Amino acid sequence: MRLQPFRKFQRFTILCGLLVIGASLYWGRVAMLPTVAVPPVISETTYNPWIRVALTNSPVRSVELRCHGAVTISSANSSDVLQRADKISVSKVSSTPNGIQIGNLHVPATRIEIAVDREPGIRVNNHLYRGKIHLYRMRDGRLRVVNVVRLEDYLASVVDSEMPREFGQEARKAQCIAARTYALYQQQQRNSHPYFDLYDSTRSQMYLGVEYPGPQGQRWAGESKSSRRIVNETRGIVCIYNDTIFCTYFSAACGGKTIQGTDLFADAASPVSPVMCEWCGDAKLHRWERRVTTERFLKLFDSQKLILSENALAVNDMATSALEANPKDTILIQQDDTTIELQRHNIQQRLGAHVLPSPLFQVILQGTDVVFRGRGHGHGAGFCQWGARGQDKQGHDAQKILQIYYPGSQLVEMAKQ
């Protein structure tokens, strides 16, 4: 998708310009956007306001569904109406050899759409969603459950799901713009998953819906007036580089320096490159230390001996050494007669994010333990959420925050259709 700013608007009168600026100020939009004076449009495609979100990381055997008010069940392929119901009480949904079973209702189709007359009115596993639900029966009988929702509605939940209100208005605006860009970028990569664009988890970005169940079964809000206002104030605004949207990777805390995006992600664009970040020091995982026994570590990799290569050795100055840690740094292990190189992110994947919060760590051997000293939370590429909080406190606006974490990028407003 290429975006081209309008460049022929010079003939608009000063009055017209003032009206645009006045309207922008009224809506509290991100300050100093080129869109205030020269609104860009999409030249080759249109702003697609629908997004498809997978509600589980992998297909499931069954799911719990509940619909408030009148329900229409259609074919997801043709939109032909298959069934209507006054409502659907709490029902287990599973597949049958020739269709999908919803409580007592059998729908003789393997790809269906569920819609209600009044939104939000569909609960899946006790999360309340706007939009529609698509159910796809996979070949192995499991179900892929997808929420088809307007992008801006989706973002109202993503903002609250990803970043608490205490992080500040400008940090949350920046989060919203990064999330919108990320979602649209993922939508363009349709070849990877035919039925959906994004996951509802940290595999893509967190999306809890309008309401979700708390630990004691209470209902918690997944979006708020604040998040809806932020979505409206940044409506249609995205990050671009070379007139094209790019994958706006972000993580919880970089620990002082973001990483080279291409070290972890093949599709990382030029703006996802290392920048110093002095603002995420309040994050709990700005610095961390974890240890596992050498025996457990070696067992995990089916190896006999751990050899620390030079770049794995920690130095005494933790602040310096942690900043130098790189996800592609290696350590060596001995397996039978061969020596294998392990990259940091592979070690993190194998031990799990609950053990190693990021792939940015140094390794030392201490007695019978392998000690990991690291920085940050998440992959460390691009926008740093805790850093955005720190920048907000210093008075940076959303545009400045994003341009620091995605150097060379621009903000533009996409045309709304």
Cβ closest to Zn ion, residue 175 vs residue 303: 175
Contact call for residue 254 and Zn ion (CB under 5 A): yes
Binding mask 129-158 for Zn ion (x = CB under 5 A): ------------------------------
Asked whether 198 and 247 are in contact (CB, 8 A), the reply is no
Cβ closest to Zn ion, residue 65 vs residue 280: 280
Q: How far is the CB of 282 from Zn ion (least distance, A)?
A: 10
191 CB burial (10 A radius; 0-12, 13-18, 19+) = exposed
CA distances to 65, 149, 154, 333 from 50, rounded to whole Å, are 22, 6, 9, 48
Q: How far is the CB of 283 from Zn ion (least distance, A)?
A: 7
Answer for which of 38, 93, 280, 333 binds Zn ion (CB under 5 A) is: 280
Question: If binding means CB under 5 A, how many residues of this protein chain bind Zn ion?
Answer: 5
Region near Zn ion per CB under 5 A, out of 43-51, 63-71, 103-111, 247-255: 247-255
Cβ closest to Zn ion, residue 15 vs residue 319: 319
Region near Zn ion per CB under 5 A, out of 2-10, 217-225, 259-267, 274-282: 274-282
- Alpha-carbon distance of 102 to 94, in angstroms, equals 7
Contact call for residue 272 and Zn ion (CB under 5 A): no
Cβ closest to Zn ion, residue 59 vs residue 378: 378
Binding mask 202-241 for Zn ion (x = CB under 5 A): ----------------------------------------
Region near Zn ion per CB under 5 A, out of 31-39, 208-216, 269-277, 343-351: 269-277
Residues 383-402 that bind Zn ion (CB under 5 A): 384, 387
Q: How far is the CB of 66 from Zn ion (least distance, A)?
A: 41
Q: How far is the CB of 415 from Zn ion (least distance, A)?
A: 33
Beta bridge partners of 339: 334
Asked whether 274 and 360 are in contact (CB, 8 A), the reply is no
Q: How far is the CB of 376 from Zn ion (least distance, A)?
A: 7
Q: How far is the CB of 404 from Zn ion (least distance, A)?
A: 10
Q: How far is the CB of 280 from Zn ion (least distance, A)?
A: 3
Q: How far is the CB of 405 from Zn ion (least distance, A)?
A: 8
Q: How far is the CB of 393 from Zn ion (least distance, A)?
A: 13
Region near Zn ion per CB under 5 A, out of 194-202, 220-228, 280-288, 328-336: 280-288
- Residue where the block lists tokens 């017209």: 16
Residues 98-117 that bind Zn ion (CB under 5 A): none
Within the chain, what is the greatest distance between any pair of CA atoms? Answer: 78
Contact call for residue 404 and Zn ion (CB under 5 A): no
Asked whether 333 and 305 are in contact (CB, 8 A), the reply is yes
Residues 326-385 that bind Zn ion (CB under 5 A): 384
Contact call for residue 277 and Zn ion (CB under 5 A): yes
- Alpha-carbon distance of 333 to 325, in angstroms, equals 19
Cβ closest to Zn ion, residue 177 vs residue 306: 177
Q: How far is the CB of 132 from Zn ion (least distance, A)?
A: 38
Cβ closest to Zn ion, residue 5 vs residue 387: 387
Cβ closest to Zn ion, residue 131 vs residue 387: 387
Cβ closest to Zn ion, residue 145 vs residue 171: 171
Q: How far is the CB of 416 from Zn ion (least distance, A)?
A: 33
Binding site for Zn ion (CB under 5 A): 254, 277, 280, 384, 387
